[in-house]
């Protein structure tokens, strides 16, 4: 065997010597080829046919973008705003006509208050208008600290934080806590700023039917089952329930006591948006928690704007320091925006003073709300949406014509009819394509403490006439 092998080897060497040069070269090339094949990728991930410069230029030449914005027709219903000249207080001048205001969220009539104006003026004298900086960079004024302290005290919480824009408050607060991978349970009727906050948080959003606690519990249970499958993951998924105290879109209350029960049963935190209920509900105007007698510490975060009852600008969040303080570094609308002009903060402080001194205001408002709610009942063709204690009701068509545009036109005709008769109303405006659950078209009726019995009767009468005339 050994000798045989040797022979083969010798023969091979001999053959190598004898072989013609072209053969060796060919063999050599073949070997190199094999090596190349071994070391190069034998397949391509993607068939690449690179475009030549010329082809690229052609493509660039050919590409036609859509216009930056689509054209808006001149008579687009939301293009031509009603013009208000003079202050939008109890008497308001809309398109040149003086009317009684049933449209601005000036629930407590503080927009007009001399005291508030004087406080704002004295602040203007001292601080000027702008703050020229965010809170972190010398935009924190003594007035801001005072307002935060006062709001916390008013609400009975450890801490409060103010934002310079009402809309940005809850929209910044939600993504400060809830991140990608977390879960938010939210009511279908939630207002637009909540929706934007949800979107910015990039969390999983689970909508439950409006005020339907069974539906919410079903979702929570589903999640509980999901958690049991993967308990390790479940330990880091934060969960939140986001609700409004008094819904701006439906004018009804959230069932807070049941929500609190669910919170502890399923270990979910509650964020409560109170822009409509702060300064309205409760013996002292502290909102739904006071209305239901719920311990405010059971709510993780309460946010509200200061643009409705307080009749200033901006918003605030309040709750325990453990929760609220986090926004001072993580609330985008807080950190990256200039702070609230001191004169607006000063005005809010004075408005709080008035609210604290005279809790009777809230009783008056409640009576007026009930009155308006009652007076509007039985308007032909229109139904009243909302609870008797809600200060901003909706009038919807009983029978929709089937087309939103036509419905809006009908309602707008009622608004115009009333404007002519010195009752200022407005349509509730929405962005049709942006809303997650678009509310039906409606007329907003806002109650304020300044409206007298007579004015309420006149307004109700006027709406009835208009409905009779336009809807039949």
Partner 1 sequence: MIRTDEHHSCKGTPMCHSDQKQLQSNSMKNGYHKKEKVQKNGKGDGFHQPRVRGEDSFEEAPMYVAVLTYMGYGIVILFGYFRDFLRAVGFEKCHQAQEREEQKDFVPLYQDFENFYKRNLYTRVRDNWNRPICSLPGPVFDVMERVSDDYNWTFRLTGRTIENVINMGSYNYLGFAENNVDFLKTVAEETRQYGVGVCSTRQELGNLSTHEKLERLVAEFLGVESAMAFGMGFATNSMNIPALVGKGCLILSDELNHTSLILGARLSGATIRVFKHNNMQSLEKMLKDAICSGQPRTHRAWKKILIMVEGIYSMEGSLVRLPEILALKKKYKAYLYLDEAHSIGAVGPTGRGVTEYFGVDPNEVDVLMGTFTKSFGAAGGYIAGKKELVDYLRSHSHSAVYATAMSPPVVEQIIRAIKCIMGVDGTTEGQRRVRQLAENTRYLRSRLKEMGFIIYGNQDSPVVPLLLYLPGKVGAFSRAMLKRKIGVVVVGFPATPITEARARFCVSAAHTREMLDKVLQSLDELGDDIKLKFSRHRSSYRPELYDETDFELDS
Q: Is 237 in the site for partner 1 (CB under 8 A)?
A: yes
Q: How far is the CB of 414 from partner 1 (least distance, A)?
A: 15
Give CA separation, 50 vs 46, 47, 55, 57, 128, in Å. 11, 9, 10, 13, 61
- Beta-strand pair 204-208/426-427: unpaired
Q: Can you give the three-state secondary structure of 61-116, one letter per residue?
A: HHCCCCCCCCCCCCCCCCCCCCCEECCCCCEEEECCEEEEECCCCCCCCHHHCHHH
How many angstroms separate the CA atoms of 336 and 61, rounded? 40
The reply on whether position 231 binds partner 1 by CB under 8 A is no
Residues 185-204 that bind partner 1 (CB under 8 A): 191-193, 196, 199-200
Strand ranges of the sheet holding 269-273, from the earlier edge strand across to the other edge: 159-163, 315-319, 301-305, 269-273, 239-244, 183-187, 204-208
Which x/- pattern over 277-306 shows residues binding partner 1 (rule: CB under 8 A)?
--------------------x-------x-
Residues 448-467: x where in contact with partner 1 by CB under 8 A, - otherwise, as a string: --------------------
Tell which one of 223, 327, 426, 458 touches partner 1 (CB under 8 A): 426
Q: Decide: is 168 part of the binding site for partner 1 (CB under 8 A).
A: yes
Residue 437 as a binder of partner 1 (CB under 8 A): the answer is no
Applying CB under 8 A, among 1, 2, 12, 83 the residue interacting with partner 1 is: 83
Given the complex with partner 1, which of 126 and 469 has the nearer CB atom?
126
Q: Segment near partner 1 (CB under 8 A), from 260-268, 356-364, 395-403, 461-469?
A: 260-268
Q: Is 145 in the site for partner 1 (CB under 8 A)?
A: yes
Please report, in angstroms and rounded to a whole number, the separation of the first and last CA atoms in the chain. 115
Q: Are 368 and 449 in contact (CB under 8 A)?
A: yes
Query: Is residue 234 within a helix (H) or strand (E), and if so which, with residue range?
Result: helix 231-234
The pattern of x and - marking residues 53 through 82 that bind partner 1 according to CB under 8 A reads: ---x--xx--xxxxxxxxxx---x-xx-xx
Quick one: which of 150, 396, 409, 430 contacts partner 1 (CB under 8 A)? Answer: 430
Q: Which is nearer to partner 1, 312 or 458 (CB)?
A: 312
Our measurement of the distance from residue 407's CA atom to the centroid of its chain's CA atoms, rounded to an integer in Å, reads: 26
Q: List C-alpha distances in Å: 200 to 204, 240, 331.
A: 11, 15, 12
**Closest CB to partner 1 among 87 and 381?**
87
Site string for partner 1, 353-392 (x = CB under 8 A): ----------------------------------------
């Amino acid at each position: 065997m050994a000798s045989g092998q040797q022979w083969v080897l010798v023969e091979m060497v001999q053959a190598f010597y004898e072989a013609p040069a072209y053969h060796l070269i060919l063999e050599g090339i073949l070997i190199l080829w094999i090596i190349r094949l071994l070391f190069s990728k034998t397949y391509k991930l993607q068939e690449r046919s690179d475009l030549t410069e010329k082809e690229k230029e052609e493509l660039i030449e050919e590409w036609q973008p859509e216009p930056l914005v689509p054209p808006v027709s001149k008579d687009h219903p939301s293009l031509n705003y009603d013009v208000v000249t003079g202050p939008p207080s109890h008497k308001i001048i809309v398109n040149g006509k003086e009317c009684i205001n049933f449209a601005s969220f000036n629930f407590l009539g503080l927009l007009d208050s001399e005291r508030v104006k004087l406080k704002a003026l004295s602040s203007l004298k001292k601080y000027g208008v702008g703050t020229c900086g965010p809170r972190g960079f010398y935009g924190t004024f003594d007035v801001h600290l005072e307002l935060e302290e006062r709001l916390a005290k008013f609400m009975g919480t450890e801490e409060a934080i103010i934002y310079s824009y009402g809309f940005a408050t809850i929209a910044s607060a939600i993504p400060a806590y809830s991140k990608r991978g977390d879960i938010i349970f939210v009511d279908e009727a939630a207002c637009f700023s909540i929706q934007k906050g949800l979107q910015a948080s990039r969390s999983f959003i689970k909508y439950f039917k409006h005020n339907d606690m069974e539906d919410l519990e079903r979702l929570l249970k589903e999640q509980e089952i999901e958690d049991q499958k993967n308990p390790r993951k479940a330990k880091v998924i934060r969960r939140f329930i986001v609700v409004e105290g008094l819904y701006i879109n439906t004018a009804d209350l959230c069932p807070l006591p049941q929500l609190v029960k669910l919170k502890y049963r399923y270990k979910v935190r509650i964020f409560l948006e109170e822009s409509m209920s702060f300064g309205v509900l409760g013996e002292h105007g502290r909102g739904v928690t006071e209305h239901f007698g719920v311990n405010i510490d059971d709510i993780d975060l309460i946010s509200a704007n200061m643009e409705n009852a307080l009749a200033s600008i901006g918003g605030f969040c309040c709750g325990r320091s453990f929760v609220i303080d986090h926004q001072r570094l993580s609330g985008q609308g807080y950190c990256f925006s200039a702070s609230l002009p001191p004169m607006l903060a000063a005005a809010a402080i004075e408005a709080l003073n008035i609210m604290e001194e005279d809790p009777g205001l809230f009783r008056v408002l409640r009576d007026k709300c009930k009155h308006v709610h009652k007076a509007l009942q039985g308007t032909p063709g229109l139904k009243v949406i909302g609870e008797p204690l809600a200060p901003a009701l909706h009038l919807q068509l009983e029978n929709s014509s089937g087309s939103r545009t036509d419905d809006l036109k009908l309602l707008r005709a009622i608004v115009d009819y009333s404007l002519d008769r010195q009752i200022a109303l407005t349509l509730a405006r929405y962005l049709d394509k942006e809303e997650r659950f678009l509310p039906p078209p409606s007329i907003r009726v806002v109650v304020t403490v300044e409206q007298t019995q007579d004015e309420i009767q006149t307004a109700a009468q006027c709406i009835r006439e208009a409905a009779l005339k336009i809807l039949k």
